Amino acid sequence: MSYLKRVRERNPLVHNITNLVVANFTANGLLTLGASPFMAYAHEEVEDVARIADAVMFNIGTLDENVVQSILLAGRSANANGVPVVFDPVGAGATPYRTETAQTVMKQVKVDVLRGNMAEIANTAGERWDIKGVDAGEGSGDALEIARRAALKLGCIVAATGKEDIVTDGTAVALIGNGHPLLAKVTGAGCLLSSVVAAFLAVGGESKLDAVTEALAFYGIAAENAFERTAGQGPGSFQIEFINQLASVSPETVNERKIVRPWKQS
Ligand code: ATP
Ligand code: TZP
Ligand code: MG
Ligand code: MG
């Protein structure tokens, strides 16, 4: 079964409480993918929006107390109504406020998927990993073990992204090799990915782990195609073509080109 095909058939409504930097890029990426983005923050309506959504995505990139309260209200409503939740703890570890907020969200909301760079995942789980603002720094630990421990401790699927992505529920692990380094030169590439993961979770299916793995492979393949078609033109052209590719990469292409390794404990 292709989760991508289902997304395009069902056009899921994705409620995003995201940051000021990436809202437009996120909305365009979800639209071209075939989902229906909805950005809504007001305390007066977030519970209603989360209830009618097919999935929600929370992101603390430009957090303040209003945003935090919006996330907690929407999160409780999503949980009460069986709506899947993705959380992107942008910058966790960069300041105590971000780290504490990420940990509060994880305590008060039942999160299905925690998606971030390795530093954000580690710091949300109470471990150390260098972070430079919102970008992952050089960490020295065992990324795979930290991701697995985080999933077990926080009780969710962890998607820790970077050169190679790690998706784990603490027991099963998939490593995804698709992608392109230019994604790191597009602000919001990680944030949009979290919303794309939400769209893949929104369409149901047998396995959330498979849905997340397919979302990451699809996203990486779109980036590979975008680079091929704009080679030599730079990150600006890459960014535009990447949005085009979210509309045109097919389920068949994902099947043929995905680089997914299941990891087994030796
Ligand atoms: P950061 O702020 O550290 O850039 P992020 O939240 O933007 O983190 P990334 O980890 O950059 O998120 O992941 C976004 C996408 O970019 C993922 O699909 C990931 O696989 C891809 N990606 C990031 N770095 C590389 C790389 N060096 N090579 C290939 N793909 C990459
Ligand atoms: N500052 C606060 S949020 C943000 C910046 C630059 C965007 C981060 O986007 P991403 O997807 O994590 O690279
Ligand atoms: Mg980034
Ligand atoms: Mg990020």
2: exposed, middle or buried (Cβ count in 10 Å: 0-12, 13-18, 19+): middle
Q: Return the residue matching tokens 């957090």.
A: 63
User: Rounded to an integer, what is the distance from CA 260 to the centroid of its chain?
Assistant: 17
Residue 251: per-residue pLDDT: 98
Query: DSSP readout, 173-230?
Result: EEEE----GGGGGSTTHHHHHHHHHHHHHHT--S-HHHHHHHHHHHHHHHHHHHHHHH
Q: Three-state DSSP class for 168?
A: strand
Q: Give yes or no for residue 19 CB within 6 A of ligand 2.
A: yes
Atom index in ligand 1 nearest the CA of residue 161 equals 10
DSSP state of 238: H
| Ligand 1 pocket test target in 166, 175, 187, 193 with most atoms within 8 Å of CB | 193
20 CA from centroid of ligand 3 (Å) = 15
| Ligand 2 pocket test target in 60, 134, 219, 239 with most atoms within 8 Å of CB | 134
Residue 30: per-residue pLDDT: 98
Write the pLDDT tens digit of every residue in 146-182: 999 999 999 999 999 999 999 999 999 999 999 999 9
List, in sequence order, the alpha helices (H) in the chain: 3-10, 23-33, 46-52, 65-80, 96-108, 118-124, 143-154, 189-202, 208-230, 235-248, 251-257
DSSP state of 94: T
Give the 3-state secondary structure of 58-72. Answer: EECCCCCHHHHHHHH
Please name which of 120, 118, 60 lies closest in space to residue 93, comparing C-alpha atoms.
120
Residue 242 φ/ψ region, left for φ over 0, alpha for ψ in the -120 to 50 degree band, beta for the rest? alpha
**Domains, the chain, with CATH or none:** 3-263 (3.40.1190.20)
One digit per residue, the tens of pLDDT, for the chain of length 266 reads 899 999 999 999 999 999 999 999 999 999 999 999 999 999 999 999 999 999 999 999 999 999 999 999 999 999 999 999 999 999 999 999 999 999 999 999 999 999 999 999 999 999 989 888 888 888 778 999 999 999 999 999 999 999 999 999 999 999 999 999 999 999 999 999 999 999 999 998 889 999 999 999 999 999 999 999 999 899 999 999 999 999 999 999 999 999 999 887 66
191 CA from centroid of ligand 2 (Å) = 7
- The answer to whether the CB of 162 falls within 8 A of the CB of 178 is no
Residue 179: per-residue pLDDT: 98
- The answer to whether the CB of 192 falls within 8 A of the CB of 29 is yes
Residue 135: per-residue pLDDT: 84
Q: Report residue 24 as tokens.
A: 């437009």
73 CA from centroid of ligand 4 (Å) = 22
- The answer to whether the CB of 96 falls within 8 A of the CB of 131 is no
Q: Return the residue matching tokens 């959504």.
A: 53
Q: Report residue 86 as tokens.
A: 């993705």
Q: Give yes or no for residue 123 CB within 6 A of ligand 2.
A: no
ipTM, two decimals: 0.97
Nearest CA to ligand 1 atom 22: 162
Q: Give yes or no for residue 63 CB within 6 A of ligand 2.
A: no
Ligand nearest to the CA of 136: 1
160: exposed, middle or buried (Cβ count in 10 Å: 0-12, 13-18, 19+): buried
CA 132, 172, 145, 177 torsion-angle sign: negative
Interior CA angle at 124 toward 83 and 161, to 5°? 75
161 CA from centroid of ligand 2 (Å) = 14
Atom index in ligand 1 nearest the CA of residue 115 equals 6
116 CA from centroid of ligand 1 (Å) = 9
Atom index in ligand 2 nearest the CA of residue 188 equals 11
